[in-house]
Amino acid sequence: MARPSDTLGPLTLVQQIGVGRHCQIWEAVEAPAGRKVAVKIIVPAMANDPAQRKLLEHELKVATSLEHPTIIKIDRLVTKDGPPHLVMELYPHPNLKKQIAAGVDALAPRLQRIVTEIALAVDHMHARGWVHRDLKPDNVLAAPDGQVKLIDFAIAAKASGFLGKLLGGKTTAQGSPSYMSPEQIRGAALDARSDIYSFGCMLFELLAGKPPFTAANPNDLLNKHVSTPAPAVDQFNRNATTGGSAFVRTLLAKKPADRPASMQEVLRQLRTVRLLERAGA
């Protein structure tokens, strides 16, 4: 993938810290104060694509409506001095996908804090009227002490209210196949319970080292989310408690009505359920 220019106005790019299909994430230094920031840049080949610019505009709109210590701050969108880019808070820690790949046992001592803080971040989004729609380990940065930052609001959408439910409003099915709720796959109107399902997929992966469903191709994977019962996570991690495994399965219920009704309810259950027999050192 082509590298952007070393400088974007007052920003000097230092190192690439992330990459997506159409964007790169860089650590940068902002003159004149020398402040370290993160920069999300549309890749040069897509720099003139209005759809990509709209995604950045939307992400800024969502982020500026949020204010929580577990959610990344976005300062501004810049459309000059090179490709369109977002300037945001730098949180110099790897995402959970990378940390899971290194082994879930290493996450055990801070697992309870990690999942609680993710739930707090998502609950804050829901309180402000947003459904994230792309909750996955890639979109959570986690420090060694378990402090997290939720990132990437490009496809967040307003939760369906009474009118949307009454009219049976449809949405475009967007998201990451390993973490999408059945109703999200169907393109149905979404509320907080869709994010709760995705949160359940993340929690399963944090315990088992892999998502609840895998398949040879995306269609088979999506079909499993829609119709295949979720496996018990304690089959893959002997350290997972029976209660924790049962809790994860409620999050992964096929019908939204069978899941916790809100992230507030998820947080209440997290205060009482023990996810692991041994939390580690």
Residue 27, CA distances (Å) to 73, 77, 156, 178, 228 in order: 15, 16, 24, 28, 41
Q: Confidence band (pLDDT; 50, 70, 90) for 47?
A: confident
Residues in the chain: 281
pLDDT digits over 86-113, tens only? Answer: 999 999 999 999 999 999 999 999 999 9
Q: What tokens appear for 29 in the block?
A: 């230094």
Q: Which of 75, 81, 123, 134 is catalytic?
A: 134
pLDDT exceeds 90 at position 171:
no
CA 70/CA 72 separation, integer angstroms: 7
**Residues 29, 20 contacting (CB under 8 angstroms):** no
Q: Is the pLDDT of residue 224 over 70?
A: yes
Q: Which of 23-37, 72-86, 157-171, 248-262 has the lowest mean pLDDT?
A: 157-171
**Can you name the CATH fold of 96-270?**
Transferase(Phosphotransferase); domain 1 (1.10.510)
Q: Is 49 a catalytic residue?
A: no
96-270 shares the fold of 7-88: no
Domain locations along the chain: 7-88, 96-270
> CA–CA separation, 97 vs 141, rounded Å?
9
- Element holding 75 (H helix, E strand): strand 74-78
Determine the longest span between alpha carbons in the chain, in angstroms. Answer: 56
Comparing CA positions, the residue from 211, 166, 173, 169 lying closest to residue 189 is 169
Domain 7-88 matching CATH 3.40.190.80: the answer reads no
Strands 157-158 and 130-131: antiparallel
pTM for the model stands at: 0.92
